[in-house]
Amino acid sequence: MKNSFLSFNRLMAILAKEFIQMRRDRATFAMMVALPVMQLLMFGFAINTDPRHLPTALMDRDHSAISRSVVRALENSTYLDIVYHPKSDQEAEQLMAAGKINFLVEIPSNLAANVGAGHPAQILVLAEASDPSAASGALASIQNLIDGAIRREMQGALSIHAARASPIKVVVHRRYNPAGTTAYNIVPGLLGIILAMTMSLMTAVALTRETERGTMENLLAMPTRPIEVMLGKILPYLLIGYIQTLVVLVAAAFVFHVPMNGSYLLLFAVTTIYIIVNLIIGFVFSTLASSQLQAMQMTFFMLLPQILLSGFMFPFRGMPGWAQFIGEGLPATHFMRLMRGIMLKGADTSDLMPDIWPLGLMMVVLRVLAMMRYRQTLD
């Protein structure tokens, strides 16, 4: 009926119109499907709060039967992967500062002699504890592993000491975050997430707004080159990125008391690269999106893996190989390592180069992609 409270014909017309609109907006529909799938994969398979197979360096100065038994026990552990055998303390320190190892196990030259004489024997374990959750599980297992290995060796003349609770004591030194303060790990990483979200979002929306309001025609009519448009759009937001960085650093120092052991100049340099990378990402999104809503959707779609797969919330080494491979391709992963390396470890340029050059490469590749996608004429 015409004047009825609810008309089936009118309702069907509205539904048909909405389905047609949904079909036309394929990008939004694709993200509605892809986002829950991505969340299921990452939360179901990639996230692991108990990381295994952490890279470890070993320095065995004893080379005795007991030390070899300890080494075998560590090698058979699922928590540690012994991948380096440094020849000096300086080499071991460089490996840890560069983030190549999570643990350094040092077996002293008098280990077997002290065990045989019934004297206290110790093994030193240096843990890269900038992320407390990544080290806790492995550290809890090392003493048990060594106790199991040494019991097999306490035979013959050594059996008189077998009654001792633990002939070898593991001494743990937590580097860079001795107290296990969570803020030391979270606050430097949070800067990477803040910049990734705001820089790419603002640039993507700003350029897409030009198209929606019709002012893009005026911009395209001007005698400007694509590189000039891109620089003109991103440079103002570079200043905003610096302001955000300053706010976070001031809060880190005076509110959360995060130490600053490295160079402010180096921190400023790597932050500049990271800000530019995210601004160019936003520029690329603006060339793909047909509306501000789509630009925002693309930004948040990119932000989710940067939060979950970069090592910000969950230990990076605890993720499976495929998730780490994806994480290595995210700008936030490298920036967080750089920030934590500079602030907590006092790392220098040589230590940080494995994470600086990927950001530089991303900046170049994304800049080329943005220029290729930029439309000098309206469709």
Q: 364 and 231, same structural domain?
A: yes
Are residues 221 and 108 part of one domain? no
**Which 3 state secondary structure label does DSSP give 315?**
coil
Are 205 and 164 in a shared domain? Answer: no
Same domain, yes or no: 187 and 323: yes
pLDDT at 1: 47
Mind listing the pLDDT tens digit for each residue in 174-200?
A: 999 888 888 999 999 999 999 999 999
Task: Please check whether residue 322 is in contact with residue 343, taking contact to mean a CB–CB distance below 8 angstroms.
Answer: no
Asked which of 25-29, 245-249, 266-270, 354-358 is least confident by mean pLDDT, the reply is 25-29
Please give the pLDDT value at position 4.
Answer: 61
Q: Are 95 and 46 in contact (CB under 8 A)?
A: no
* Residue 354 forms part of a structural domain: yes
Residues 128 and 274 both lie in one domain: no
| Of 147, 175, 203, the domain-final residue | 175
Whether the Cβ atoms of residue 211 and residue 164 lie closer than 8 Å to each other: no
Domain closes at, from 175, 203, 232? 175
Instruction: Tell me: pLDDT of 160 over 80.
Output: no
Same-domain pairing of 123 and 253? no
Q: Which of 175, 196, 214 is the last residue of a domain?
A: 175
Q: Tell me the CA end-to-end span of the chain in Å, nearest whole number.
A: 45
Assess whether 148 and 242 both reside in one domain.
no
Is the per-residue pLDDT at 225 higher than 90? no
Domain co-membership, 88 together with 199: no
Q: What is the pLDDT of residue 125?
A: 93
Q: Order of strands across the sheet with 54-60? A: 80-84, 54-60, 103-107, 121-128, 168-175
> Could you tell me if 237 and 340 lie in one domain?
yes
- Over the chain, what is the mean pLDDT? 84
Mean pLDDT of 240-269: 94
CATH assignment of the domain containing 105: 3.40.1710.10
Cα–Cα nearest to 287, from 192, 360, 368, 195: 368
Judged against a pLDDT cut of 80, whether residue 245 lies above it is answered with yes
Indicate whether 30 belongs to any domain: no
Answer whether residue 154 is part of any domain.
yes
Indicate whether 191 and 290 sit together in one domain: yes
Report if residue 15 sits inside a domain: no
346 inside domain: yes
Give the total number of structural domains in the chain. 2
Q: What is the pLDDT of residue 234?
A: 81
Task: For residues 198 and 299, state if they share a domain.
Answer: yes
Whether 226 is in a domain gets the answer yes
Pairing of strands 54-60, 103-107: parallel
The pLDDT > 90 percentage for the chain reads 37
pLDDT (average), residues 301-318: 87
> Do 168 and 122 reside in the same domain of the chain?
yes
Q: What is the dihedral of CA 17, 18, 24, 29, to 10 degrees?
A: -160
Which of 331, 326, 328, 332 has its CA nearest to residue 363? 331
Structural domain containing residue 332: 182-373
The answer to which of 135-139, 185-189, 209-213, 366-370 has the lowest mean pLDDT is 209-213
Q: Please say if the pLDDT value at position 3 is more than 60.
A: no
Quickly state the pLDDT bin for 220 (edges 50, 70, 90). Answer: low
Residue 163 lies in a domain: yes
Q: What is the pLDDT of residues 58-94, one digit of tens each?
A: 999 998 888 888 899 898 888 899 999 999 989 998 8
> Residue 41: inside a domain, yes or no?
no
